[in-house]
């Protein structure tokens, strides 16, 4: 069965080289070096290349040559999003611009005083959007897997400084459930990805791009259980220095718990598929996502 292993690629030396270039040359020299790094992964990382190639070829419907071109483009854009995340989180000088489509929905959620859940996926560069949530002037809790190697995390923390959000790490002892419960009880915003799960997690199935795929049950169960407003948010790179942020109108999921889970899942997958068709090269799940 397809599932994510919970680890991210990269090493401390690689991050260090790019951060040095970013500090003294800016994003464009870093993007230039990135072309060679992307080429390396394109040629030598078949374990992650095969699922993305199949995604372009069988799910998006590209021919073989177009699938290969977009495979390289996918690696290159993914590298750009990592660079951009460091630049924004470290407050380095940059020329990034942003369109905020639906930001008023999030402001309405905050002003409503009930807290809420923000769902997203590994599509686009959600972490850049997450860092910009400080515009909302409310407490943000981001739920994530602890998938980075500890040395890399410590190195990046020294560069980017403290995040302006509270991180809730998903742990085997399920302590994160209590942290999420506390945050929602305090009427805060809780942000989480709803497209990855680890082996042993409970899942739900829905068709995506014409084939059944499994999604983690947790985010949708929380939406149905707490019955707080739920938004789906994405941020996509549209040019070298421009991002487009999307937020949907908040919705609450009532009824029986199973019905609420199914409705929340359907809404999320529909929006996910719509954005995949619009930004197909920004799908960053490097494993066999579909059953």
CB 174: neighbour CB atoms within 10 A?
A: 8
Q: What is the dihedral of CA 142, 157, 163, 141, to 10 degrees?
A: 20
Bridge-partner residues for 207, per DSSP? 212
**Three-state secondary-structure class, residue 137:** coil
How many whole angstroms separate alpha carbon 101 and alpha carbon 234?
10
Percent of the chain residues past pLDDT 90, beyond the cut? 47
pLDDT at 152 over 70: no
pLDDT at 145 over 80: no
**Three-state secondary-structure class, residue 15:** helix
Q: Where are the alpha helices (DSSP H) in 11-165?
A: 12-25, 27-44, 46-54, 64-89, 103-112, 126-131, 150-160
How many whole angstroms separate alpha carbon 198 and alpha carbon 171?
11
* 63-91 average pLDDT score: 91
Digit-coded pLDDT (tens) for 171-201:
777 778 888 888 888 888 998 999 988 888 8
* 219-228 average pLDDT score: 89
**Three-state secondary-structure class, residue 263:** helix
């Amino acid at each position: 069965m397809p599932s994510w292993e919970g680890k991210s690629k990269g090493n401390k030396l690689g991050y260090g080289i790019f951060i040095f270039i970013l500090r003294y040359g800016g994003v464009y020299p870093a993007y230039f070096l990135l072309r060679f790094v992307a080429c390396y992964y394109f040629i030598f990382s078949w374990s992650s290349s095969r699922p993305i190639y199949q995604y372009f070829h069988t799910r998006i419907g590209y021919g073989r040559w177009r699938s290969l071109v977009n495979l390289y483009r996918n690696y290159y854009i993914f590298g750009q999003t990592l660079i951009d995340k460091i630049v924004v989180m470290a407050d380095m000088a940059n020329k990034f611009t942003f369109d905020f489509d639906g930001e008023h929905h999030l402001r309405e959620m905050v002003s409503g005083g009930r807290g809420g859940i923000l769902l997203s996926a590994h599509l686009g560069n959600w972490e850049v959007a997450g860092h910009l949530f400080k515009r909302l002037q409310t407490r943000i809790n981001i739920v994530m897997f602890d998938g980075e190697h500890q040395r890399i995390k410590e190195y990046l923390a020294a560069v980017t400084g403290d995040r302006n959000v509270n991180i809730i790490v998903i742990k085997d002892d399920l302590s994160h459930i209590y942290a999420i419960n506390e945050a929602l009880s305090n009427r805060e915003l809780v942000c989480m990805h709803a497209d990855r799960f680890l082996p042993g997690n409970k899942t739900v199935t829905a068709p995506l791009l014409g084939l059944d795929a499994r999604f983690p049950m947790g985010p949708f169960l929380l939406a149905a259980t707490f019955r707080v407003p739920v938004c789906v948010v994405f941020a996509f790179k549209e040019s070298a220095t421009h991002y487009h942020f999307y937020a949907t109108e908040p919705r609450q999921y009532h009824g029986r718990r199973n019905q609420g889970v199914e409705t929340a899942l359907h809404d999320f997958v529909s929006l996910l598929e719509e954005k995949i068709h619009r930004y197909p090269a920004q799908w960053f799940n490097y494993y066999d996502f579909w059953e």
